[in-house]
Structure 1
C-alpha cells in the first residue's frame, strides 16, 4: 500500500460494497433495477399529477413536488452506477467522478432533510393557525424556503468536498483505492484515506451536526405544538383528519433522519460498515421509492386527482 497525495493524481476508486454479498449479483441487479424504475414512475407520476391538477395547488403539494424531484435526483446519482457495477467485474470510478458523485449526493441528500423540515413547518401552520394558512404559507414563501434549502445544501457540500481534496489515499500496486461501499459516500472515503482526517470528522460533528440539529429541532417543536392543538380539538373526526395529514410526513421523517443519524453521527466501530451499507440502501433506494406511495395511498386528494386523470384518459380514448 502507498499514499497518493491528493485527488488531482486521479486514483481509481473500486466500489466493492456488494463484492462479499451472498445474494447473486444478477438477482441484485434485477432488484435494484425494479426499485429504480418504480422510483422514476412513482415520483414522475406524482410530480405531473401535482403540476396539472387544480385541486393540488396548495403549499403542501408545492413542497411535496419539490421533495419528489429531489428524491429523483438522489436515486439517479447512485442507482444507475450501482446497476452498471453489478454487471461488471471491475466496479471502478475515477477520482473526479467519485467526488462529483459525492457532491451531488450530498446536495440532494441535505436538501431532502431541509425540505422535510419546511414541510413540518407547513403542517404546523395548517393545523395550529388554519385561518392564516393561505396568507402565511403562500407560494412565494415556499419558493424562497426551497431556494434557501438548495443554497444551504450547496454551501455545506462545498465545505466537505473541499476538505476531502487535500487528503491522501491508500492505493494498492495498481493505483486503486478500495471502497467497501456501493457509491462514493463520505464515511467510506474517510476510511480509505491515509491522511489525518480529524478536521473532516470535526466538520461532520460540528457543522454537519448543527445543520441536522436545526431542522430536527424545527420538526420536534412543530409536532409538539401540533400534538397539543390536536388534543384540544373538540371532535374525534377533526382529530383523525389532523393526524392523517401528518402521518405520511412523520413516516418519511423517521425513515430519512433515522438512517442519516445512524450513518453519520454514531461513533466508528469495527462492525459498522455492513450497517452503514444497509442504512445507505434505505435512504438512497427505499425512501425515494416509498415517498410517492406513502403520500398518495394515505391521501384522499391525491387519489381523487389520480381518478380524475384516469377518467379523463378513458374519455379521451
Structure 2
C-alpha cells in the first residue's frame, strides 16, 4: 500500500506540473514547422560599388571595413574601373589585414593608444635599413631592424600598386568550381614584378614551386641579401592560389597561408573573397 501511495503521489505531482505549465501559458509541446533558408551570396552590385559602400564614405555609418584598402588603391593610382570588369575574382582586405592599432577599454569605451601598428601588413612588412654592404640590417638579437609603417605613403607607390594588382584575378573562382587542391589563377600583376628593398616585403624570396616543411606547411624564405635577377615579395608568374579547406568558418585559403573571413560573395561582375588577416602575395 505504501508503494502504491508513493506512485500515486508521484503521478499527481506530474499532473500538477503539467497543469501548471498550461495554467501559466507554457504548453507542453508546440509543433513548429522548420523552414530551411539558404543565405543568398548575391550582393547585387559590382565589386567596385561594394568596396565604396563599405569604404571611407560608407552607406551605413561606421561600416568602414574596407577604408584602408580603398585608401591604398587611391595612393597606388589604380583605376577602380578594374573592379567593374566582368569575370574576375577579387581579394578584398578588411582594415585589420592592413593595420591593427593597440587599444585600451575605459568604462566600456575603446580608445586607440598609438598609431604604431601591432599586426597586419604594416607591422609584418615594416620599413627596413641596409648595412653598408647592402645586406639587411638586423638587431643584436637577430631580428629585423624595422620600423612599422604608419601610412600607405611610407611604402614606394610601385610596391603598393603591384600589391593590389596581384589581388585581382582575371578568372572566376568560387565554391562552385573550387577544389581541395590549389587552383592557380592569373592576376593583373605585371610579369616579373619584384618588390623594392625599402620594406621587408622585398626581402622574401618568391619561387615557382612549393616550399614546404616535413609537416606540409608553407615555408617563408626571408633572406638577408638580395640576388640580382631573383623575384622578391610577389609571385614570379603573376598568379595566386586558392583552395577549399575543411573549416566551417573559413573554407577558402589564399596562397596556402591565410583563410578567408568571408568567401564566395557574388558581385555582378565576379566573386569577392574577403580576408581579415595578413596575406602573402606570392604562392611559393
**Structure ranking higher in helix proportion:** 1
Higher RCO (CA 8 Å, separation ≥ 6 residues): 1
TM-score by length of 1: 0.25
TM-score by length of 2: 0.27
